Amino acid sequence: MHSDRVKLTRKTPHFKKKQEHHTNAFWFCVKTGFFAGLFWGTLHWILYTIHFTKILPGFMADPFFQLSFLRTGWGNAVGIGCFIIFSIVAALIYKFLLGRFSGPWAGVAYGMLWCAVLFLAIGPALNVTKPIQQLGLDTMITELCIYTIWGLFIGYTIAFEFTDEVSREPIGAA
């Protein structure tokens, strides 16, 4: 007597219907974007601090703050905050445009696309980053890696929650 949407459990002498849990897509994307921005924004700050990249962690806040401020500790915090907001918006866009894809590859491509958009188009056009020829190979490889794993985090987290990726988990793992 099981249906696809209703599961019966035996907690009392009578059977009770237990509804399946449906995740709120908006709030799940907000949480995913928040943690993606916090984790990968902090990693970006660390990689900037140890000179793996020349891109300031607060480069997204450059149109709103002076560069001298963005180079301070509070400026780095503002930069990570801006990256968190950007990540929340990016997670919502991902869910809307690519949420039906399962597996990690859509997220990887999504992160690489954002890297290209930010460093080939938007960054130089708004004068918040130097042209790609002036950034150096170390900086571009570091940024490409950060955005690739950032996109993977967002994409695969959303795919795992909203597609049948859970069905590939071993029985009893949940």
Residues 154-170: pLDDT tens digits? 999 999 888 765 566 66
| 7: in domain | no
| 9: in domain | no
| 174: in domain | no
46 phi and psi angles, rounded to 5 deg: -65, -45
24 phi and psi angles, rounded to 5 deg: -75, 115
| 133: in domain | yes
Report the alpha-carbon distance of residue 80 to residue 48 in Å, rounded: 12
| 161: in domain | yes
Mean pLDDT: which of 7-11, 60-64, 122-126, 146-150 is highest?
146-150
| 8: in domain | no
The predicted pLDDT at position 163 comes to 79
DSSP-derived secondary structure letter, 9: E
Is 60 exceeded by the pLDDT of residue 88?
A: yes
Structural domains of the chain, count: 1
Q: Provide the strand spans (E) within 106-171.
A: none
Report the alpha-carbon distance of residue 12 to residue 9 in Å, rounded: 9
The predicted pLDDT at position 165 comes to 56
| 67: in domain | yes
Split at pLDDT 50, 70, 90, the class of 2 is: very low
| 34: in domain | yes
Domain extent, residue 78, equals 25-168
Look up the pTM and report it.
Answer: 0.81
